[in-house]
Structure 1
Amino acid sequence: MTISTTKKLLGATGAAALLVALAACGSAPEASPSGAAPEADVVDGFKPCLISDEGGWNDKSFNQSAKEGMDAALEELGVEGIELESTTPNDYAPNLEELVAQGCSFIVSVGFNLSAATVESANNNPDIDYAIIDDLADNDFNNETDAPNIKPLVFNTAEAAYLGGYAAAAWSAESGVNKVGTFGGMQIPSVAVFMDGYALGVEKYNEDKGASVDLFGWNVADQEGSFTGGFAANDTAKQTAQGVLDQGVDVILPVGGPIYESAAAAIADGGSDVLMLGVDSDLAVKDSGVSDITLVSIMKAIDVAVKDATVEAAAGDFDVAPYIGTLENEGVKLSGFGDFEAELPEGLADELSALQEAIIAGDITVESKNSPQQ
């Protein structure tokens, strides 16, 4: 894989072109392969495995995207694998032990929360290759991965979120509300990085337009904001969303897998015209039930990263150097605007395009203390 930390935004001369440039589509097979002849080289005994975070495989977000990537790799390689779903943090270590016991030769852990358990398992099993999503596996913060057999798959999501924040501010300014919001699941870097980029995008819009769109739910400087404490779509998440909605926002960004469902429920209960942004995957495509209130999504190509890492490991070419998804390498991007394409503020598509180009060229740096560092 190509590693890049260069940053960039996107756009087009029209909203339709923006859709083509930014949208990510397609879903990977649900099932493991039926034993078709491999289309790529596979070392003897290769057995790839995947362990989820507690959100589950149907979270319409990072777990589901990782599973789609693994399923696609299994089909391409013509091998069998194991995918274990975690329902609570107490499942992480036992599930990793089970994968080791089942003879897995490559294990992908989905999410920052699995970092400690993954590092311990990797150090105890040096002959197994590991990858982890959304974490550098540097739990002692010495700028080195804590086990020599772990490949981090991380994403500089602040770049794409910057575009999302700019678009949200433009929408709210056009409506005359001039208030946008956000809230997260757990306050961890892979969540806060979305909120940082979103906030900075709102600031950029205000700067460029002489506007005064207010942001509720996150303060970049203080790194303080609204969080549910987990990734479950429950009453706590709904109450957290409602707390932000009560500020009068008309666009909200829920960051944390299934918690978007709680935001959608709070919006429905209020009978308002509030729109939300999706994260990780194209939410309007993944969940048609919320497409009518999803303005746009801030995406990470987790599926592609997992598939590519698995195929490399299968060929015996496993490289532990971190993969960092950026706008430049399309590891992060903005989706299309779906049903809202025709309603976008005039000139927004071109503005987003220019911003993306400036980020990729290095003329704009989206600075988030939560972004992965090379």
Structure 2
Amino acid sequence: MPKNPGTVPDAAAEGLDAHLVVDRGSFRLDVALTAAPGDVVALLGPNGAGKTTALRALAGLAPLAGGHLRLDGVDLRRTPPESRPVGVVFQDYLLFPHLTALDNVAFGPRCRGAGKAEARAQAAEWLDRMGLAGHAAAKPRRLSGGQAQRVALARALATRPRLLLLDEPLAALDARTRLEVRAQLRRHLAAFEAVAVLVTHDPLDAMVLADRLVVVEQGRIVQEGTPSDIARHPRTEYIAQLVGLNLYRGQADGHTVLLDAGPAVSTTEDLSGPAFVAFPPGAVTLYRDRPTGSSARNLWRCEVAGLETHGDQIRAELTGELALAADLTTVAAAELDLHPGATVWAAVKATQTHAYPA
């Protein structure tokens, strides 16, 4: 492993310990990331949040304005990108078009000092692991998107990196190929013994591939935790939309949360003080007239702002007493004669809401 003069690795500090501060004009990234060997961390966030900047800083392609970057106890701030024990899989794979799949994979070991025969032997082994032994002689233009992605991953892993960086690794794939390659990538990451950091905007990729999610907005971490924690306790509107929930903030008093947005929401949780309350669009029942026999304790008069297809359902965006999203079947939408501007009553049972401290 390359070392800076005077740098002594701390044997007890295996894994990634980074505080990334990057200044790019008016934008400033300031995030802390730690991960143990074997961890897969996904960076999530809207466009412009700083995810790719963080990845570039980890790779040494974006200079740090502050903070620190240690990998297995070694300070990497002054180590050039090509000398870092870091493998990168770019969104567009960036395979060398004039080289075969075998030589693309062998390129990494060759750069690390391996002889040609040794590098090609290692490359052949990695292609075999990826199920691509029969494509070793193929050049990138002859590979499918999924095959090219696996060659890029093999090239990154062939150098035996201590940190693997994946920048939107599935974004260039069609939906069918994405499903297959996502499953394969999950298996490879599960067997990877060092740290992997994945940048994605796709919540499904993050939920399936990562052990821990770190959500970045405007250059700052707004929430981190396991996929299940994030999905159940979103703390920003972006995260709520990501996991498909209506989310509100307010003040809890017992089983009632008085929302900052105006109305109150009845819940089954007993809380006091600042709180979030969330419920899925599928928990919302719509009526054209105010219901008289509904058991729902939450009822709001709303107006249909828009309708769109959402999977095999219709999603209605509502405004009025409470802005929310509601999912219903196409048959239900037709029976209700829903259209933009229509007045509806939205009901949600208290048992279908979830409240938690803010």
What TM-score do the two structures reach when normalised by structure 1?
A: 0.25
Larger radius of gyration: 2
What TM-score do the two structures reach when normalised by structure 2?
A: 0.26
Q: Which has the higher strand share?
A: 2
Work out which structure has the larger RCO, using CA pairs closer than 8 Å and 6 or more positions apart in sequence. 1
Q: Which has the higher helix share?
A: 1
